[in-house]
Structure 1
Amino acid sequence: MNACRLCPRECGALRLEKSGNGYCRMGTMPSVARAALHYWEEPCISGTKGSGTVFFTGCSLQCVFCQNEQISLRREVGKYLTPKQLSEVFFHLVDQGAHNINLVSACHFAPAVAEALSYRKLPVPVVYNSSGYESIETLHMLEGLIDIYLPDYKYDDPALSKELSNAENYVTSARQAILEMARQTGPCVIDHEGLMQRGTIVRHLILPGHTKNSIAALDWMKENLPKGVLVSLMAQYLPCGRAKEMPPIDRRITEREYQKVQSHLFQLGLEGFVQDRASARKKFIPSFCLEGLESFE
């Protein structure tokens, strides 16, 4: 039982296997809420057969607007798995035809995830799907095990990250993490079927009332991302959890906000993906009912 320093909060929590008193409130043993094919990532990730997504319970960031609040904030659903069992989950998804294994919010279980990935080499790429709030030391632990990094760059304003994610150091931490991810993977490699095999895609979610934040985030990416790193501009924001009572994020983004940020992306010449506003629907939020974990006691 060691003092945890896995994420940039460095809270020093003492974590047992199935309990912990840190910010994420989780133990060291991975808790998984869903392991199933997912079809709503970027086209080069989901492909035609789906991405093998493994949703972990808990989160070290815990944004007030999180669409997965059932598992990230309230931690209502989750089944504990050993690293060996987690490896079995990965291969079961491969057997279903998954184009890749997509680890969603795995930071707080990084040592166990690294162990699971080391049991047997997967025949498909491994995707690390992250809030961007990662420590360099944890990313070094994962080096060589991750083929594709899929981080967010949520904020370019420390005051906003403090207000919405209680993480004033988000901007500094995410910038360092994203550049380290890009170093590890190098430029994006997409095969003849349009599927990503290696690389980094940086996501940014447009928040209602905060287009200045989005424009500043895109400016930083233009100035700092290495060549070959793609950008994904997301418009799927829905007011969830506490955000429903927090203007201006208590609504969806407007067409004007969407067009303003999208136009800036095009002006900068950033390569990647743009999500349509029609993606802001509840039907695209996964259900968390331990799908794919039925065979584990």
Structure 2
Amino acid sequence: MSTSFVIPSRCTLCPRRCGADRAAGRTGYCGAGGTLKVARAALHFWEEPCISGTRGSGTVFFSGCALQCCYCQNYPISAQCFGKEVTVERLAQIFLDLQAQGAHNINLVTPGQWQPWIIAALTLARDAGLDLPIVCNTGGYETPDSIRRWQGFIDIWLADLKYVSPALSAEMSAAPDYFAVAKQAIEAIMAQTGRPVYGPDGMLRRGVILRHLALPGHIDDSFRVLDQMAAWNDADPGCLVPSIMSQYTPFYKAAEHGIGRRITTYEYRRVVNYAVDKGLTSGFMQQKSSAREEYTPAFDLTGV
């Protein structure tokens, strides 16, 4: 099977549409250039239970990110683009190695900036026996064209809905259009993927888990996010699996943007109570102990 694919010469893979000539080795807003980079590939046990299960999620962390959030816990790879250059053939083998280790699924973390490379690798790996569900782990900042290109390759979307306020998303992610873009993207992935489907072992085989990370001092915006999640769920009950997260830790440049502390138990309880009041009960909540730095993996090129 050929591994040919087109490297963007005027990149529009993400909503930034920065136009970088990546075929000539230029880097885009996301930090990604013309050669695929991976920072870590290993079994990961800290996703939602229906993703990590008992054997772990076969998680591949890709270098670069279109959002560049000021508080990103993965900032060495997302903002600083740490990683190792690998071929498409090597990425296909990484997928197969994770399957051989017993992974429940293949979990692609921030893959959008490398979509052509990853689709080529998935095609190779499938031809060689890969048969696990594929998870797209995304910040929700995706174009409709990108979502359409993932059709037939992504089974599960592990997507964020971070903000509603344009002012807040501009401050935290330099993306004032975040909510407008993410709302359209999430509606597209729900239409593409359909309602959640579970295997006999309770593991998610297909569907959308929609995450929200509550930020300290900004729970009013969390309420607005939950309003939108509830509106989707009210219109089509069970169309998504909500996941309300408390794991915010003030990494990277968080203090410079006014969020240099962890969320309080009181703040998180208010967010959880609001979600329950809105009927978002068929999903996941976190213990406050999840806000610990040791839950962030070491980006040491494991498995690469």
TM-score by length of 1: 0.95
Aligned to 2:223: 215
- Determine if the alignment matches structure 1 residue 144 to structure 2 residue 187: no
Shift of 1:20: 2.4
Identity %: 47
Is the contact between residue 125 and residue 198 of structure 1 (CA under 8 Å) also seen in structure 2? Answer: yes
Partner SS state of residue 102, structure 2: coil
Instruction: State how 1:42-191 maps to structure 2 within 5 Å.
Output: 42-75=48-81, 77-121=82-126, 122-191=130-199
* Unmatched tracts of structure 1, length 5 or more: none
Once residues 195 and 135 of structure 1 are traced to their aligned partners in structure 2, the CA distance between those partners, rounded to angstroms, is 28
Shift of 1:74: 1.3
Paired letter, 2:264: T
TM-score by length of 2: 0.93
Aligned to 2:264: 254
Shift of 1:111: 0.9
Match of 2:253 among 216, 239, 242: 242
Shift of 1:254: 0.6
Once residues 77 and 164 of structure 2 are traced to their aligned partners in structure 1, the CA distance between those partners, rounded to angstroms, is 26
Paired letter, 2:271: V
Paired letter, 2:45: Y
- Determine if the alignment matches structure 1 residue 277 to structure 2 residue 285: no
Shift of 1:190: 1.3
Is the contact between residue 149 and residue 199 of structure 1 (CA under 8 Å) also seen in structure 2? Answer: yes
Paired letter, 1:236: Q
Shift of 1:245: 3.2
Shift of 1:28: 3.4
Aligned to 1:7: 14
Once residues 28 and 126 of structure 1 are traced to their aligned partners in structure 2, the CA distance between those partners, rounded to angstroms, is 24
Is the contact between residue 29 and residue 109 of structure 1 (CA under 8 Å) also seen in structure 2? Answer: no
Regions of 4+ moved over 4 Å: none
Partner SS state of residue 241, structure 1: coil
Partner SS state of residue 242, structure 2: strand
Is the contact between residue 236 and residue 275 of structure 1 (CA under 8 Å) also seen in structure 2? Answer: yes
Shift of 1:194: 1.4
- Determine if the alignment matches structure 1 residue 206 to structure 2 residue 209: no
Once residues 82 and 137 of structure 1 are traced to their aligned partners in structure 2, the CA distance between those partners, rounded to angstroms, is 25
Shift of 1:103: 0.1
Task: Report which stretch shifted further, 51-60 or 269-278.
Answer: 269-278
Partner SS state of residue 200, structure 1: strand
* Unmatched tracts of structure 2, length 5 or more: 1-7
Paired letter, 2:83: G
Aligned to 1:288: 299
Partner SS state of residue 55, structure 1: strand
Shift of 1:243: 0.5
Partner SS state of residue 183, structure 1: helix
Partner SS state of residue 128, structure 1: strand
- Equivalenced residue count is 290
Paired letter, 1:139: I
Partner SS state of residue 23, structure 2: coil
Shift of 1:120: 3.4
Alpha-carbon deviations, 1:134-193, whole Å to 9, x = none? 111011111011000011000011110001000111101101111111111101111221
Once residues 90 and 21 of structure 1 are traced to their aligned partners in structure 2, the CA distance between those partners, rounded to angstroms, is 26
Paired letter, 1:119: L
Alpha-carbon deviations, 1:89-123, whole Å to 9, x = none? 00000000100000000110011111111123221
Shift of 1:24: 1.1
Partner SS state of residue 142, structure 2: coil
- Determine if the alignment matches structure 1 residue 26 to structure 2 residue 36: no
